[in-house]
Amino acid sequence: MKALRVLLAVSVIAAALVVTQAATGASSSVHVSGTYTVTDFGALACAPNGSPFVLRCTITGFVSHYGGSLEGTSVTDFVQIIDCKTSHTLGYGTETFTGSVEGVGSGTLTWGIHFESAFDCATFAVSDFSGRGVVTSGSGDLAGLNGRLQFGDVTYEGELH
């Protein structure tokens, strides 16, 4: 009889842990999606990069406004390699978002971003933009969040934990 009570107690505790972990896992992941708009292209400095057709550009103070699950603005500093012969560009940098995340709260989120796109060297127009962001830090209500974001020409989506 004592063994049965111990087994019953262990079963109840194990079930409670499973329910707690399931509830925590469900609430700790937040899906985000929406749109962004560039509001300031920042400061641009470009120089040839080993070929007359390839430029290495440094951009600072690039500002975007986010709507949807993320509400606020971001400032990005990045390096971009532009190949005018292939009409292709790729780059990497750091983006810091200040605002709110729906269902979480307000503060800042910083992510490293890598991107590529088609690029028109005559007009500096970007198309078919694809980016990936990995959250590295946060502050305020957003402290401790991590996750990944995917970017299109004017959209974003991802998971934050």
Q: Where are the domains of the chain?
A: 31-160
Q: How far apart are CA 8 and CA 91, in angstroms?
A: 58
**Global pTM?**
0.82
pLDDT of residue 14: 40
Q: What is the pLDDT of residue 28?
A: 82
The pLDDT tens digits along the chain (161 residues) read 454 343 333 343 444 433 344 434 445 899 999 999 999 999 999 999 999 999 999 999 999 999 999 999 999 999 999 999 999 999 999 999 999 999 999 999 999 999 999 999 999 899 999 999 999 999 999 999 999 999 999 999 999 99
With a CB cutoff of 8 Å and minimum separation 6, the contacts of 36 are 64, 65, 66, 67, 74, 151, 154, 155, 156
Q: DSSP letter for 31, please.
A: E
The reported pLDDT for the residue numbered 27 is: 52
CATH superfamily of 31-160: SO1590-like (2.40.350.10)
Q: What confidence score (pLDDT) does residue 95 get? A: 98
Task: Give pLDDT, residue 10.
Answer: 38
Burial class (CB in 10 A: 0-12, 13-18, 19+), 121: middle
